[in-house]
Amino acid sequence: MFEVSEKLASLSPSETLAMSQRSGELKAQGIDVINLSVGEPDFLTPDHIKLAAQKAIDENYSFYSPVSGYLSLRKAIAKKLKEENGFDYRPEQIVCSNGAKQAICNVLISIVNPGDEVIIPAPYWVSYVEMVKLAGGSSTVLTAGIEQGYKITSEQLESAITPSTKAFILCSPSNPTGAVYSREELCGFADVLSRYPEVVVISDEIYEHINYTGKHESIAQFESLADRTVIVNGVSKAYAMTGWRLGWIAAPEWIASACNKLQGQYTSGPSSIAQKAAEAAYAGSQDCVVMMRDAFCRRRDLMVSLISDIPHARVTVPDGAFYMFPDFGHYIGKTFRGREILNSADLATYLLEEAHVASVGGLAFGAPNCIRFSYALCDNDLIKAMERIKDALAKLS
Ligand code: PMP
Ligand code: GLU
């Protein structure tokens, strides 16, 4: 009798959060689960950021903030964009939200009409396709397999553009693959897009600072895209602040004001305390960012060697983020005690039950043969987890 709306019924739950929750439930039963599912830094939020939040509480930042965030925070973000990226944004072009997740959803809901298409390279972050559904549009998924380094080509992009294309979502460094597009590759996309001036580019740069190539390149740097690129970023990953929920967009003014209007009816401005903490993150020393990136890079090297040691695993060396995305296609179709592993979601479930390691099946990322491991954990846990996985995979026949 009681039914959720058709829109909600068509929505898939977030697989990253679901696997993390299952891992938590097993842990609560006393099982020693190693959680490589949800992607979040294992570091603590740096002290100077926590102090700024405590100060904000003492100074009574307890009232509603402006919908798009305090001007002081938006100025700090504009300064970061100028100094780190060489971009000129005015505070009116910046909208702060409850995480980059809400920021992306705001943009899609603000620009997508029924019938509009949004181009999404796969493997993709789990939420993009669902957010496009929520916005009423449809996704055009472009697949880039491991043999092309999980990166789409500009020819693929061009072949997917139709008169209904509204937006192109690019995530570099990528979740889930860790692939990073070079300046030349981005320039190729910009050349294609210069022929389609009505397509909005949503550039998800949440892993900007977890980049092992030496320099972050943003697609927003190309002149032909300047008036239609939305940069998405936030403090979750760079400053180990996932729970604080503070993300933002830097966008053309018409998109920023649309998101402001939407957010004003939907959630209002993000947490006042998180905003003051984020301001300290951007204004303060960036040593913590470098320290965390270097630790992730060392763990990346460790994970590449551990996974390369697993028979039949195909790996790429990720240039950024903190995920490994091996192709475990060899193990799909195998059985354990008469139960067949039909796809990567089954494989992730098997690894959770048999190896007590939580991961996320590639199916949710549009890559049915792959498994995602977050390596934002200490070395010992990573070594133990990969040993367990190797043993569990060896039991499949
Ligand atoms: N984009 C990507 C690619 C992500 O991995 C995440 C983390 N879940 C987000 C956006 C959202 O980040 P936030 O924690 O700021 O909502
Ligand atoms: N970025 C993380 C992940 O992909 C957080 C979980 C989520 O928001 O999906 O695991």
> How high is the pLDDT of residue 307?
98
Mutate to test the pocket of ligand 1, among 206, 210, 239 (most ligand atoms within 8 A of CB): 206
> How high is the pLDDT of residue 180?
98
Q: What is the pLDDT of residues 254-284, one digit of tens each?
A: 999 999 999 999 999 999 999 999 999 999 9
User: Out of 3.90.1150.10, 3.40.50.880, 3.30.413.10, 1.10.3720.10, which CATH number does the structure's domain 6-44+288-394 have?
Assistant: 3.90.1150.10
Q: Whose CA is nearest to atom 2 of ligand 2?
A: 39
> What is the average pLDDT across 117-142?
97
> How high is the pLDDT of residue 334?
97
User: For residue 48, what are the contacts with CB-CB under 8 A and spacing of at least 6?
Assistant: 280, 284, 285
Q: Whose CA is nearest to atom 1 of ligand 2?
A: 39
> What is the average pLDDT across 180-203?
98
Contact 355, 392 (CB under 8 A): yes
Rounded to two decimals, the pTM is: 0.97
What percent of the chain is modeled with pLDDT above 70?
100
- 173 touches ligand 1 (CB under 6 Å): no
Mean of all residue pLDDT scores within the chain: 97
**Cα(242) to centroid(ligand 2), Å:** 9
What percent of the chain is modeled with pLDDT above 90?
97
Mutate to test the pocket of ligand 2, among 11, 35, 38 (most ligand atoms within 8 A of CB): 38
Rounded to whole angstroms, what are the CA distances from 252 to 174, 247, 255? 23, 17, 6
> What is the average pLDDT across 107-113?
98
Neighbours of 29 (CB within 10 A): 7
Topology at the third CATH level for domain 61-283: Aspartate Aminotransferase; domain 2 (3.40.640)
Q: Whose CA is nearest to atom 12 of ligand 1?
A: 100
Output the CA angle 204-278-253, nearest 5 degrees: 50
> How high is the pLDDT of residue 15?
87
Say how far residue 361 (Cα) sits from the centre of its chain. 16
Say how far residue 84 (Cα) sits from the centre of its chain. 20
Check if 6-44+288-394 and 61-283 are the same fold. Answer: no
> What is the average pLDDT across 170-193?
98
Phi/psi region, residue 375 (left: phi>0; alpha: psi -120 to 50; beta: rest), is: alpha
pLDDT at 1 over 90: no
- 125 touches ligand 1 (CB under 6 Å): yes
- 234 touches ligand 1 (CB under 6 Å): yes
- 102 touches ligand 2 (CB under 6 Å): no
Q: What is the pLDDT of residues 204-259, one digit of tens each?
A: 999 999 999 999 999 999 999 999 999 999 999 999 999 999 999 999 999 999 99
Q: Which ligand has its closest atom nearest to the C-alpha of 373?
A: 2
Q: Which ligand has its closest atom nearest to the C-alpha of 20?
A: 2
Rounded to whole angstroms, what are the CA distances from 127 to 8, 100, 139? 14, 11, 12
Instruction: Tell which atom from ligand 2 comes closest to the C-alpha of 360.
Output: 10
- 131 touches ligand 2 (CB under 6 Å): no
Lowest-pLDDT range, 13-22, 83-92, 176-185, 216-225? 13-22
Neighbours of 54 (CB within 10 A): 12
pLDDT at 390 over 90: yes
Contact 258, 250 (CB under 8 A): no
Q: What is the pLDDT of residues 312-347, one digit of tens each?
A: 999 999 999 999 999 999 999 999 999 999 999 999
Q: Can you tell me the distance from the alpha carbon of 83 to that of 286, in angstroms, rounded to the nearest whole number?
A: 13
Rounded to whole angstroms, what are the CA distances from 272 to 238, 245, 251? 20, 11, 22
Q: What is the pLDDT of residues 3-37, one digit of tens each?
A: 999 999 999 989 889 899 999 999 999 999 999 99
Mutate to test the pocket of ligand 1, among 205, 236, 325, 360 (most ligand atoms within 8 A of CB): 236
Nearest to 73 by CA among 314, 246, 297: 246
- 17 touches ligand 2 (CB under 6 Å): yes
* Domain locations in the chain as residue ranges: 6-44+288-394, 61-283
- 101 touches ligand 1 (CB under 6 Å): yes
